[in-house]
Every structure is written in structure tokens, then in C-alpha cells.
Amino acid sequence: MSGTETPTLESPASPRTRGSKPDPKPDPKPDPKSDIKSDPKSDPKSDKRRPARGATAEEMSQRQREISVSEFFAKNRHLLGFDNPRKALLTTVKEAVDNSLDACEEAGILPTIRVELMPLSETRFRVTVRDNGPGIVRKQIENVFGRLLYGSKFHRLKMSRGQQGIGISAAGMYGLMTTGRPVVILSRTRAKDPVHEVVLKMDTSRNRADIVSDSERTDDAGIFPEGHGTQVSIELEGKYLKGRQSVDEYLEQTAIANPHARIEYRTPTGEEILFDRAVAELPPETEEIKPHPKGIELGILIQMLERTSATQLGAFFKQEFCRIGPSVAKEICASAGLSDRTWVKQVGHADAERLYQALEQVKVSAPPTNCVQAIGTKTLLAGLLKEVKAEFYAASTRPPSVYRGRPFIIEAAIAFGGALDSEEPSRVIRFANRVPLQYQQAACSSFKAVLETNWRNYGLAQPRGSVPVAPLVVMLHMASVWVPFTSESKEAIADYDEIRKEMRLALQECGRRLQTYLNRRRRMARQGERRSAFLRYIGEISKSCGELTGRDAKAVYDALMKQAEAKTAEFDLVLDDEGRVVDDGGSLAKDEGVVIVESRQTALTSPVEGEGAAPPVEGGTLFADSPAASTKRAKRS
Amino acid sequence: MAKKNAANGAAAATGRVGAKRPSDERTLGRLVDLGTKVSTESVAGSDPFVDIPTRALSNTNWNAKRRILEMGDASQRRNLFNLGQARKFMQTLLIASGCKELIEQGKTLSLRSMYYKSLHTIAGTKEKTFADQEESDPIIEDLEVALGSLREELHVFASERGKVVGNLTIIDNGDEIDLRRMGTGGYAIPSIVEPSVIKFGKCEAKFILHVEKGTVWARFNEDRFWQKHGCILTEGGGQPPRGVRRLLRRMHDELGLPVYCLLDCDPWGHYIYSVIKQGSMNLAFESERMAIPDAKFIGIRASDYERYGLTDDVQIALSDRDTGRAKQIAEYPWFAGKKEWQREIQTLLRNGFKMEVESLITKGISFVTETYVPQKLAQKDWLD
């Protein structure tokens, strides 16, 4: 933790005493030293006047107590993505927006989200995120926003952005710790109900929230024009910068992966940015699934056995797992030396272990895949098209696949050329369940898949062990009921062979389409050269012919011009369709996963590599100043 | 140039034979045919082309019966609508129309002047019709073979090289020139020596001695070799240009004079002899008018080193390139069947060194004119 944050750590002390709660006892395990400093009253040394080395078991037992999850994360906030002020600001926006999108989609509402970053001082911001979601019923507000590990998403295997129920409460906790300011929540569930305004403060030791104030507001119903929605405001210590890993980038990428959402964004400098809706359909709803026999571990099996409502083993397997029918259940029980009639309560640890092994070995079909929904090539293209100004777009959605019993879908999309910088390494943007992943790129399976794809095969320059150096944006998306992140801050997808393989295949599909396009473009450039060469010489030739024969050169000239045009008809097609889509009559034109924006294409006659003519967009972000206009120019939208 | 034009101007006034030639009508007809063919093809909507016979070893046939090199039937089609050929196609027609103009006006131009004549920037571009003379020379040769008309028939000539003196009088464009009275400088052989330009007068020579270069020729001329032995003395400045070869051939044919060659003892000397005797690969189409299958090679021979007791000093070591070239020449079909030539080249390779004609100077300043050549001729000691 940086030094600048240390003083602010003390500030929450005053509101805490006002709350008339006992001061949290210092937690002796993680970091005794800092505890001593922050709370000298409870310092064991000053009380007992005895060296710590000689502590007796009794004395130690007095200090041994439960650690609340909130306390643990308060001390280890980097695990949740609050490592530094800049990242804290991003994580806060991200958690709030992800929650909003999840809530809207689950309620079947096309999301409209407003994000405001209000600078309060150089290092302090108020983050306000408002959505048009279903709202939160009053009694759940303090749970949703005030408790860590409280949520609807952890206990089920269903595709959603959030997973653990840590995010937004952790952001509130971080805000409280760094500024001492509580979280303000406005929520309305129905137009005829009042707007609830709840001010919450986290109590880290009890992992719950204290309500500072709770009121109903009827006056300013205007903030939820659709009659329902939620707004959360958190004040926090943060730092705003543009560029990579910024809030701007997060929202831009979110807009790419969620073109069904409308996102309004007010930057700390007062700039209004709109990421408009590009598709008017919600992503299809996903089914919740039960665990697949291949995807669990022994401990989880034991836990499931303890919690199940089934009384007999056969029923337990049928009820708690997917893809297990009566005969398979029987087979499992038999190979574990048990019967499907065995009482669940009588299954001991050794039995559980045998059942686990039986589960590992039994042959079952892959889990159902209706629980994962891809963004879809069309939507992916619409998203990329409105946020990245390129000339060629291709997307590919792989069929569902399975890792550790968990279904997943990999999608890839690329944008090439146009305003993208051809001198810089390509940009890789990664998504998991439609959420942008902005940190730990090198550790992420997606990034590795981009590296190990041989882009040279598709006509791009790729230095050894690097991403291609080309005007290229590569997008990878993993949709799954459970995305295997490398850490709780959800920054990188863990390496599984099955996942990496699908990523590679998706990228290769896109690459092949790019290659087709590049080849065609080269061919057109060549035709252009030919055409101009012929045109140059036809004048000389017809003149010479005229001199040789003593007849009119015009007839020869006209005839040759006609021929030249016919012979370079392919090039003509491009010239005539300027500004519109070029139909090459081949595979690309019929390909659903490809969009070509001809008007963004520059200098047809120059070689592919020399097309960095358009100035690179500042700061690496590529906000479309008029997304709608650019979409119109495209083939499909 | 200036000399030529002046001569042409004079021709009109004096009624001498001007640049108008009997071949002109035929050549003009061929040029017009070319233009008509291209025009017709263009208007008919097909890709216009010119077929150009291939000028390379692969398309050169050794006619053992006639003992000359002949051009084969292989030709390359030059199309307009082929990116690699479009420019050359344009240049071919440009040169053709330039030649037509020359013939019509009864004027001639050198290769270099022809380059300038056809040089301009293509309208609306920054591209020149020809980048340099290197680009225009081959196009002229292409046109020669494509039309079956010689360069001189197209009124284009190369820069002059080569000299002649001897017991012969010639009439050059109406001027009578006594080759016995040419002093030390000799008569420069013009590029075009067709009968329309050069006619033969009184001849007292019995044979022709052709030497490789000017220095050796000067030695023979100073010693009045041609006078003593009653011959014509020529040189070609290394590889003889077409004018020299054509003149040799005409003297051989029309005056019935045998041709003897005195060249260096190295692969390049051997190849000069080969070109004089049976024609060159590049101009195989002209062999018929140039080659002298009866020409003899009198030296220098590789065996002369021992035979005349030359010293080590005259040896010039064979380079790898020389060795490779010598082996290549030995394999040419027109050398392959000749045992004596195979032996000669083997001796050269075994010696490991080459010798210039000048090496004989070590035996005495006039050894080559007074002893070497007369001896060889008397003994009929030559290679065929």
C-alpha cells in the first residue's frame, strides 16, 4: 500500500465510534505490527508486560478469534483490484457497471447506464453509476451493498458478469476506508413506489452494513425515467488517467462487448461521451445448470452430500448433478461399493472418496450448453464496428466446449486497417462473460492464444514471441458459467488446454478471413497498377500505330481503352462502388462473420504495409465520434 | 553523324547513291504491316502482340551442312495486356514508327541517336519512354528479328569500329577510296557497308588478314605487310562489329579472298574467330550475311609457346573465368566435332596461361610480320 493512503486509513475511526460499536479487535494473524500502531489500547504487550515469546496457550487463545471476510479483504484489498488509486477508481466503476448490466439483463431490460466521475479534489472522486434496472427491494439494499460475499450469483452455475458477490461491497468498503464517506444508494422498483435513499457504511468486523440514514424520496422521481432503477454513489480516493487500463477504456470495451447497452459517461473533466446502443436485442437468457460430474472436487462433493435434501444416493445424483440418470447413478454407486438406495446420511468420508473416483471414471455426456450464450458474430461485429474505426472486421464464434465439466464458448473478432496504427503492436482486448479484462494481460490465456497464433500465415508481420505488428485489434471473449480467473480481482483467464485450443481455433478462423481479404486487396492493388500501366501506354501505342499505318489513331485508342477496362474489371468494381461495400462475388461477401467498410480503406494502390497514412488515434482509445454514422456505412449493422 | 548527314545532303545534289536503299520499300512494307496488324487486333478486341524470335543460345541451331549458326523457330510473344510486357510492347512500336520516319526521309541514325529520337515523357505521367540507351538497343534488335529486316535496313547503325588497308579500291557513297593510300591511320570501316553504300573497285589482293586489335594492325601496317604479301589488312577492335564482319564477308564472297585470322591465344580470341566463321548467338539471324565458314585461324596457337621458344614473361595465367569459358567453347557443337580444336583448347588449358599476339614482340619487333605469319601461311599451318 502506498504511503499516501496511510493517513486516510485512520479517518474512518471517527464515524466508526459514532456508530457506538465496539472497536474491532486487531487481527493478530496477518500483520500484528500495523495493528499495534493503529490500536495501542489493545496491544497485548502493554497490558501484560511480558515478552510475546513467552505467551502461554491461554494468553494466545485470548487473541485467537474469527476473522471476518470483510476484515480480511480490507487488509488484502489488492486481491479485489484496489491495489492503487488509479485501479481502485476503475474497479469501482467496473463493479457497479457489471452489476447494473447483470441486473438489467436478468430483468429483461435493455440497459441504459449513466456513469459519472465527479472530481472532489485532486485525489478524490465521487463515482455515481445509475441504471434502468429492476431496482433492489428495500430490505436487500444493505445486504447487496454492505456485505461481502453476499449475492445471487455465487451459489449457482449460471453465466453472469459477477460471480462471487464481492465487487460492489468491496468498492464501498474501499471508499469508506479512504474517504470515510458512506455509500449512497437510490433505488426504485416500481413507478408507483417511492425512491429509497439509503446511506450505508460497512462494518468490516461484522461483515454487514450500518444504515446511516434511510429515507423515501418522492420528489425527484425524474432520475429513474423508466420508473425503476438503481443508483450507487461512492466517494473514494482515486486517480484518473486516460489511456490503457483507464475507466474510458473499460467503458469503450464494455460497449464493444455489450452493444445492446447504452452507456453515457461523464468524465472528470466534464466531457460527455456516449456509447450508443447498436443492437436492440438483449442477449438470450441463459439457463442455470447443475454441476457436471467431471467438474467437481472431492471437497465439493462432500459438501453437496451434506447439504442435499435427497435422502438416498440415487436421488442425490439425479437431483444435484446434470447428465446423471438413474442407470448412471446406479453405476456410480455400484463402482463405489454402494447402492443407489444407500442413505446419504450414512455416506462416510471413505465412501465419498470412492464415489468421487467413480464420478471421475464414469462415462457421461458433456454438460448441456444452453447455459452459455455467445455474444454472437453479428453482435460482436456491431460492437467492434461502432467503437473501432477499421476497414475490415471478422468475427468467429466457436461451438460450445467443456473444461472441467463446465461448458464454455470462445469467440474471437478482429478489426483491421482503417484508422488503426500500423506501426504499433496490435491491441488485444479480452473479455470474460462480456466484461473487459484490462490487467495482467501477459498472464491471460487469451493473450497467450494470440501470441501463439501464427499471424504470418495470414500476411501480417509478427516478431518472434510477440503480437503482430499491424493495424489490428484482436478481441477474445470467453463465455462460461464459471470463468476460471487467476485471481479474485478477475483480471486474467487461467490456462486450460481446452480453453486455449478453442481460442486458437477462433483466432485462426478470423485470420483466414483476414488473409482472404488481404489477398483480395492486393489483387485489387495490382489490377490498379495494371490499369494505370496500360492507360499510360495506350496513348503511345495508338499514336505509333497511326504513324505506321497512316490511319486515324483514335479507333485504336478507343478499342484499347475498352479492352483495358474490361481486363481490369475487378479494379473497376472497387472504383464504382466507392463508399459502398465491395462485393467480390466470393466467399467474403457471403460470409456472415465479415464486415468490410470500404470508405475507410485508404490508398488502394499502395502495398498493405504502407497504410498507416491515417493519423493514429490519440491515447490508444478509439471512441467513435459518431458511431451511428460509421455503422451506416457498413455492410451490416 | 554530321559526316553522314553531310554525305546525304551531297548525295541528293550529286546523284550519288544516297541513304535510299533498294531494301527500303520492303522494309517500309514490313513496318506498315506491323502497325496494321496491331491496329486490327486492337480494334477486333483482342490483345495485340508482336512475336519476337528468341535471341539466345537455346534458340540457336548449328547448321553443320552450311557451317553457320542459324536462329531457331522459338519466339516470344510480346503482349500489351501483360504487365511485364506492356512497356516493351509500347517501346517496340515507338521504335518501329521512328524507323519508318527515318526510311521515309532517307536518313540514318546511330543507336544512341535513335534512343534520343524515341525519348520523351509519356503524356500525363512522369515516365519516360526509355530510361537509357541500354533499354532502347535491345528493342531495336528485337525489331530487326521481328521484321526480318537488318538494322541497316531500318536506317540505324552502331558506332564505328575497325580499320582496313590493303590492295583494294572501294567506292564509299560515291567517293573512290584507295585503301593502298591510307597512311598510318587506315580507313575506318563504316557501320553500314551494304552495296548501296560501298562498292568494290580494283583489287590486287590474294587474301585477307584479320587481326584482333588496332595495336597489332598498326604493326603490320607500318611494316607494309599488305604490300609485301598482296593482301587486305583488317582489324575489328576486339569482337568485330557488324560493319567489319559484313565487309569481310563481302570481300570474301565478291572478291574471292580467303580470310585468315590472327587472334590472341585465349578463349576470347577463340570466340572472335567463332563469330567471324559461323556467326554469333545474339545475331544468329544475320549469320547468313555475315558468317565466313571458310575463315582460318592462324594463331596464336597454344603450342607456339614451345615452338617459338617464348619465355615465361609472356604468360598470362588463366583465371577461373577463362577456364570456364574455354570449356564452354569446347562444347559448342561447331567446335565439338573438330579434333584439332579440341586439342588446341586442351593445350591451352594444360598450359594454364594465355598469350597475346604482342607476346611475339619478345622475339623481335617485326617477328610477327616477317617470320610468324609468313611461315604459317607458307606451311598452311592453321586451324579450320
Query: Is the CB of residue A99 less than 8 Å from the CB of residue A111?
Result: no
Report pLDDT for A222. 75
Report pLDDT for A286. 78
Report pLDDT for B233. 94
Report pLDDT for A126. 95
Task: Tell me whether A561 touches chain B (CB under 8 Å).
Answer: no
Q: Which of B36, B43, B90 sits opposite A540 (nearest CB)?
A: B90
A114 vs A465, more confident = A114
Question: Which residues does chain B have within 8 Å of residue A539's beta carbon, measured at their own beta carbons?
Answer: 122-124
Q: What percent of chain A has pLDDT over 90?
A: 24
Task: Cell numbers for A474, please give them.
Answer: 484482436
Distance from CA of A443 to the nearest CA of B (A): 50
pLDDT band at B115 (very low <50, low <70, confident <90, very high): very high
Count of pairs with CB atoms under 8 A, one residue in A, one in B: 89
| Bridge partners of residue B296, in order along the sequence | B260
Determine whether the interchain pair A547/B35 forms a contact, defined as Cβ–Cβ distance below 8 Å. Answer: yes
> Would you give the distance in Å from CA B244 to the centre of its chain?
6
> Read out DSSP for A295-333?
G--HHHHHHHHHH-S-SBHHHHHHHHSSS--HHHHHHHH
Distance from CA of B128 to the nearest CA of A (A): 11
Say if residue A423's pLDDT is above 60.
yes
Determine whether the interchain pair B39/A564 forms a contact, defined as Cβ–Cβ distance below 8 Å. Answer: no
Considering the domain delimited by A293-361, tell me its CATH architecture. Answer: Orthogonal Bundle (1.10)
Query: What are the residue ranges spanned by the domains of chain A?
Result: 26-64, 77-240, 293-361, 372-525+574-637
Could you give the ipTM of this predicted complex?
A: 0.75
Report pLDDT for A589. 59
Distance from CA of B94 to the nearest CA of A (A): 6
Report the candidate in A372, A385, A376 with the shortest Cα–Cα distance to residue A592: A376
Distance from CA of A542 to the nearest CA of B (A): 8
pLDDT band at A451 (very low <50, low <70, confident <90, very high): very high
Q: From A562, which residue of chain B is nearest by alpha-carbon distance?
A: B45
Report the candidate in B94, B82, B188 with the shortest Cα–Cα distance to residue B136: B94
Question: Which residues does chain A have within 8 Å of residue B97's beta carbon, measured at their own beta carbons?
Answer: 543-545, 547-548
Report pLDDT for A15. 40
Q: Which of B42, B90, B100 sits opposite A548 (nearest CB)?
A: B100
The number of beta carbons lying within 10 Å of the beta carbon of residue A55 is: 15
Q: Which of B88, B90, B136 to mutate to test the interface with A (most CBs of A within 10 A)?
A: B90
Say if residue A523's pLDDT is above 50.
yes
Round the CA-based radius of gyration of chain B to a whole number and report it: 23
pLDDT digits (tens, 9 = 90+) for A137-148: 888 888 888 776
CATH of A77-240, one of 1.25.50.10, 3.90.950.20, 3.30.565.10, 3.40.30.10: 3.30.565.10
pLDDT digits (tens, 9 = 90+) for A353-371: 999 988 888 888 888 877 8
For chain A, the average pLDDT equals: 78
Q: What percent of chain A has pLDDT over 70?
A: 76
Determine whether the interchain pair A544/B93 forms a contact, defined as Cβ–Cβ distance below 8 Å. Answer: yes
Task: Cell numbers for B34, please give them.
Answer: 506491323
Report pLDDT for A444. 92
Say if residue A128's pLDDT is above 90.
yes
Question: Which residues does chain B have within 8 Å of residue A533's beta carbon, measured at their own beta carbons?
Answer: 83, 86-87
pLDDT band at A526 (very low <50, low <70, confident <90, very high): confident
Query: Is the CB of residue A373 less than 8 Å from the CB of residue A283?
Result: yes
Say if residue A636's pLDDT is above 70.
no
Distance from C-alpha of A322 to C-alpha of A324, rounded to nearest angstrom: 6
Q: From A565, which residue of chain B is nearest by alpha-carbon distance?
A: B81
Question: Which residues does chain A have within 8 Å of residue B83's beta carbon, measured at their own beta carbons?
Answer: 526, 529-530, 533
Known active-site residue B116: yes
Determine whether the interchain pair B100/A533 forms a contact, defined as Cβ–Cβ distance below 8 Å. Answer: no
Topology (CATH) of A372-525+574-637: Ribosomal Protein S5; domain 2 (3.30.230)
pLDDT digits (tens, 9 = 90+) for A42-98: 444 444 455 556 778 877 777 777 666 667 766 777 777 788 899 999 989 998 998
Distance from CA of B77 to the nearest CA of A (A): 17
Highest mean pLDDT among A37-46, A114-123, A221-230, A626-635: A114-123
| Domains within chain B, CATH numbers bracketed | 2-47+82-157 (1.10.10.10), 163-379 (3.40.1360.10)
Q: Is A466 strand, coil or helix?
A: coil
Q: From A530, which residue of chain B is nearest by alpha-carbon distance?
A: B83
Task: Cell numbers for A363, please give them.
Answer: 462415462
Highest mean pLDDT among A261-275, A605-619, B119-133: A261-275
Residue B124 DSSP label: T
Question: Which residues does chain A have within 8 Å of residue B31's beta carbon, measured at their own beta carbons?
Answer: 548
B116, B187, B273, B308: the catalytic one is B116
Say if residue B10's pLDDT is above 60.
no
Determine whether the interchain pair A534/B47 forms a contact, defined as Cβ–Cβ distance below 8 Å. Answer: no
Average pLDDT on B258-284 reads: 90
Highest mean pLDDT among A5-9, A59-63, A230-234: A230-234
Task: Cell numbers for A321, please give them.
Answer: 448433478
